[in-house]
Amino acid sequence: MKHAPKARPRANQNKVQKRSKHLWSADVTENSDALDLENHVFTRKPAAIAQSLKRSAERSHRRKTTPFQSAMSMLNFYINRAGKNLTAKRRQTLDRAKDELRKAFGRTK
């Protein structure tokens, strides 16, 4: 009587899944149809982040929505993907960047 082949250990599958998720978000950031971002845009001061996102959104010909929606979407994507890894100070800076972005586009909360 033959035995069934052993299944691969789950630990290896989980590592592969975690790695592919990481690569997925990096791929979205680099190849998104939303915007072509400047390097290190999210490491700047709030006003500089907002101006950079605004420039990128207005120059992009591949976006599917308005420039404001594309810029805000990319900022929210970055915040959500960073999640718990963001420090309180960094999160506060990015939240201020949202307010600056609204001002830059003449929008209110």
The residue among 44, 71, 66 whose CA lies nearest residue 56 is 71
Could you give the CA distance from residue 21 to residue 2 in angstroms, rounded to a whole number? Answer: 38
Percentage, residues of the chain above pLDDT 70? 68
Please name the amino acid found at residue 45: K
Q: What is the dihedral of CA 83, 86, 88, 94, to 10 degrees?
A: -90
Q: Answer yes or no: are the C-beta atoms of 67 and 57 closer than 8 Å.
A: yes
Could you give the CA distance from residue 97 to residue 41 in angstroms, rounded to a whole number? Answer: 11
pLDDT at 54: 93
Choice between 61 and 9, residue whose per-residue pLDDT is larger: 61
In this predicted model, what pLDDT tens digit does every residue of 51-61 receive, in sequence order?
A: 999 998 999 88
Could you give the CA distance from residue 59 to residue 11 in angstroms, rounded to a whole number? Answer: 45
Mean pLDDT for 54-82 is 88
pLDDT beyond 70 at 84: yes
Alpha carbon 108 to chain centroid distance?
23
- Band (pLDDT 50/70/90 cuts) for residue 24 is low
In this predicted model, what pLDDT tens digit does every residue of 26-50 receive, in sequence order?
A: 676 666 666 778 788 888 999 999 9
Could you give the CA distance from residue 100 to residue 107 in angstroms, rounded to a whole number? Answer: 10
